[in-house]
């Protein structure tokens, strides 16, 4: 390659507009990669978690009866689990608690 041709290429390179790389960058930024959705395990919302003191073999209504009848048990529960209600702790609803309370008293 001769000197004039080489010098001409360098000269033409300097004359090109400087904003071309910006356009390329804008195009690259607007490209979005598709991500495969992750498979999430379905959880049954109706199943309530129980606290660790609850025996799964026992009827949860027995815990409610004991809570309502025995003041010492009620005090123990309220001291050890202040952020929970007895019906939430054993996996029951407030309506179960209220019906048990009506039944006993």
Has residue 5 got a pLDDT over 90?
Answer: no
Question: Domain boundaries in the chain?
Answer: 60-104
pLDDT of residue 24: 55
What's the rounded Cα separation, in Å, for the pair 59 and 49? 15
Per residue in 56-101, pLDDT tens? 889 999 999 999 999 999 999 999 999 999 999 899 999 999 999 9
Residue 42's pLDDT is what? 61
Contacts of 51 (CB under 8 A, 6+ apart): 81, 84, 89, 90
Average pLDDT, the chain: 77
Q: What is the DSSP letter of 58?
A: S
């Amino acid at each position: 390659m001769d000197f004039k041709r080489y010098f001409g290429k360098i000269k033409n390179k300097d004359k090109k507009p400087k904003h071309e790389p910006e356009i390329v960058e804008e195009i690259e930024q607007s490209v979005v990669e598709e991500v495969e959705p992750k498979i999430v395990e379905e959880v049954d919302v109706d199943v309530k978690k129980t606290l660790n003191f609850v025996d799964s073999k026992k009827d949860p209504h027995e815990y409610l009866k004991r809570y309502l009848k025995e003041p010492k048990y009620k005090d123990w529960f309220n001291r050890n689990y202040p952020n929970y209600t007895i019906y939430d702790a054993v996996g029951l609803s407030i309506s179960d608690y209220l019906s048990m309370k009506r039944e006993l008293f």
